[in-house]
Structure 1
């Protein structure tokens, strides 16, 4: 006899109620900074009995034989510091008594805070055992889903639509391989607040289990990407995606475009695409307007692919264009770098030309066809300058920062696919350069991170993202019970000064004999017509920085760190002091050069020798342009 997941959940709750909360010793693990319960904390007894906190940070402990005595627990959690248990042990001992509670505070290493598990079974298992009321309608098992890979989502017809990759169900290890889906209410329309949870309403079969929504014919799994909502001429919303069919080991043998049928709650085939098509929708798209035209961008993780934001253009691959430095007749097999008369690689939007993917960029760099200074899409660690191999992620406009914000996965980092970084840029195409790690994992994967801009709080100051937590690709043979192969939500406060990353400072006027000035970009459309990135600096104050002001002397800009005159208002930028101890390897001195005849000052991190300029001291310490492209013009 097969029981529905609703019956099993009700039975579990009944058994839990009969057991009584007073039968358990309650262990609550909280974030030292916020006081919030920490999910995914492992507590292991001396005899290797292993417990894992649920999404409320709770463990319901009832190990027979270990009650009514002092018990030591080894404590570990990704991105948190384990407490010192003495003599080299990392953990804490408690006097374990049924009906009592112990609270353990952990210091967070991650900048982002882990909130809860979005998918899978037993999300609030221990909370239910302890008699607490979880925020979810289905806190133990929702539509039979035990694990789901890689989310894509979009707001469609007033609700958030969620779709996943391969998904595990209780009856058999082979679950759903053709895109299960669900909806949830937006927080402003009655849904849970994003720091509380996501109440998913799955598309289910007659048995109440999650079902496929993109069952494309042919063997192997169906995966989707590039989930895009567009309005047609009739102002009706339509939702499209790219799909692929996969055969072992992980080879795409078919690709096409599908459209979601809101009545049937399924994707229907629109057209198949050539496998050798150079450009097609994928990743986590966003919209942006350039010169009055609205485009859909498809970052992977850099936004180097776009198409006009109409259904007809989305479905027509000839309309897709890439931001590339390849010539118009290039193919991925025969790439040729397009250069100007000075030999500089020319980046521009071109239709039908391959984007310079990370793999192709590495290939061209190794062959010498791309010089280090030609590389446009590249990220480095803001402190060490170490190159970061960007693997995937998502990009969205952030109102709080007034910039484009990226949450990105690093490959071959401290963990194979478990390190998440934050970066930002003035335009979708950059300059992207400096990044800060916000999530780390100890030999575990956390891939395909997805920001949720519909969840932004405080005008974008607080953002939310999730990713797939799994031992796949990590080299770790142990799978975390209940958590493995599931989505975990994080929040990130962009006001944290550790996320104050260097932004471009542009040099305006670069002709010989022409007066120059430096300025930051202050609004979405204020990138100067003629511009060059002179250096990078901070646009906000931190505990380690000093303000740098601009004043006009004899018609020329002069930088100063002193704010004693009436004409000086807000700082142009923030920087480090010249003598800053332990200055990051990515910084260098900003030199002041003056022309004695005119009194004009120019500022540079390298020597200026033309036109009678002589070094006149140093202003501060700023961040290098690294190997980022000099231009930010889309």
Structure 2
């Protein structure tokens, strides 16, 4: 019987070699820098997204050696439409070959890359590049908070996505880095954090306050107490259901345990107190007034509360002072005003002004994805000369944070990051690897439309 089956037996080869991918690199036509987060899509709707090195590893066997149209979309980067209005390029992918696509930046800010999550160089690594980079154990994380802590930069994030299960970390994750963690301020960038981790080396919760539901932290601030000790503090919120706060209070960092501990409950939701009082929220800004008094301002973006810059004043609600904030911002060269959603402010030595980066509320084309820059003589406004600097195609980019301390004092380079997510966008398709992560941008204040004089 066996001899009759022998003609039908197929002996598999000992090794099967996959063809190398077709390497596509996306670069800025102005300066040749790699551009992350540019999407190419085939006519049968297979999508590829450039990594932090601007690289895409095209590996579809059905389109190798076949003339192929790639539609291009890039959140503020793109190419000119053809006569039918299509924006893209026609390429013939070949295994092991390479092609460079130049895209034009449409607004002033330049995208440097993703600074959280995994797969920062996944496409490049498929092409045998950036093999020395190893990812860290999170897939995504929500809005960032920063403070100086000794000689380190302290980082906090909200809800954090892990690989092992749909439910990740919901009581704040954190890390430290050097104050200037980037060796260079041009792409490709890479940022390695010293996360607070569990025994499996996975970032752990560092702010689990008593009670059900997630714990979110805001208004992270470093202050000196009456004994001359540095103290890290933050406002915590306990969350239930769909983003509903039911308790707010203060917490402080325990360096020995390396976690935030409950310090004081300020408000608990009940029939008599349905709304939380104004508390230190958003980002903390150090400010010295004309009388040389030191304050901490809290707001997102504009200050709405302040206290003297001591731990004891921060810990005493009776010493908090409310600030009237005008949310209307005048657009440069127009009588039009726009309304910020969230953002932050900072003193900028190069411009010799207070500046703000914020997400526009009700923007176009993205409801919460249009990012603006504006200036003022005082942290309390009025805020003028608003200029659009970043756009996102039907995507959300919220809670932008300025990183003034990451550049040389007086530098014209401004760095800021924010959370890139499909949340709050209209039927947006989630972007692989990038969704629910932090993206870093660079704005050069010595180039158009800016100058050393007023805008």
The answer to whether TM tops 0.5 is yes
1:540 aligns with 453
Q: Distance in 2 between matches of 1:313 and 1:182?
A: 27
Shift of 1:110: 2.0
- Residue correspondence of structure 1 range 382-397 to structure 2 within 5 A: 382-397=332-347
Q: Is the 8 A contact 1:119 1:147 kept in 2?
A: yes
2:10 aligns with none
Q: Is the 8 A contact 2:117 2:139 kept in 1?
A: yes
Shift of 1:378: 2.0
The SS at the match of 2:426 is coil
Q: Is the 8 A contact 1:436 1:499 kept in 2?
A: no
The SS at the match of 1:174 is coil
2:11 aligns with none
Distance 1:261 1:197, change over 3 A: same
Distance 1:442 1:277, change over 3 A: closer
Q: Distance in 2 between matches of 1:455 and 1:192?
A: 10
The SS at the match of 1:385 is coil
The SS at the match of 1:23 is coil
Structure 1 residue 112 corresponds to structure 2 residue 101: no
Shift of 1:390: 1.1
Structure 1 residue 461 corresponds to structure 2 residue 412: yes
2:431 aligns with 480
1:62 aligns with 59
Q: What is the total number of aligned residue pairs between the two structures?
A: 430
Q: Distance in 2 between matches of 1:217 and 1:474?
A: 33
1:142 aligns with 136
Shift of 1:114: 0.7
- Residue correspondence of structure 1 range 398-547 to structure 2 within 5 A: 398-414=348-364, 415-457=366-408, 459-500=410-451, 540=453
1:574 aligns with none
The SS at the match of 1:435 is strand
The SS at the match of 2:87 is strand
Structure 1 residue 221 corresponds to structure 2 residue 214: yes
- Residue correspondence of structure 1 range 546-557 to structure 2 within 5 A: none
Q: TM-score, normalised by structure 2?
A: 0.90
Distance 1:292 1:541, change over 3 A: closer
Q: Is the 8 A contact 2:414 2:443 kept in 1?
A: yes
- Residue correspondence of structure 1 range 606-621 to structure 2 within 5 A: none
The SS at the match of 1:127 is helix
Structure 1 residue 152 corresponds to structure 2 residue 145: yes
1:303 aligns with 303
The SS at the match of 2:166 is strand
Q: Distance in 2 between matches of 1:438 and 1:47?
A: 33
1:166 aligns with 159
Bigger Rg, structure 1 or 2: 1
The SS at the match of 2:405 is helix
Unaligned runs of at least 5 residues, structure 2: 1-15, 269-274
CA-based RMSD: 2.0
Unaligned runs of at least 5 residues, structure 1: 1-17, 325-355, 357-375, 501-538, 543-634
Q: Distance in 2 between matches of 1:180 and 1:47?
A: 39
| Match 1:91 to one of 88, 91, 115 | 88
Q: Is the 8 A contact 2:238 2:248 kept in 1?
A: yes
The one of the two structures with greater contact order (alpha-carbon pairs below 8 A, sep at least 6) is: 2
Q: TM-score, normalised by structure 1?
A: 0.65
Shift of 1:277: 6.0
Shift of 1:377: 4.3
The SS at the match of 1:176 is coil
Q: Is the 8 A contact 1:279 1:317 kept in 2?
A: no
Q: Distance in 2 between matches of 1:99 and 1:234?
A: 64
The SS at the match of 2:125 is helix
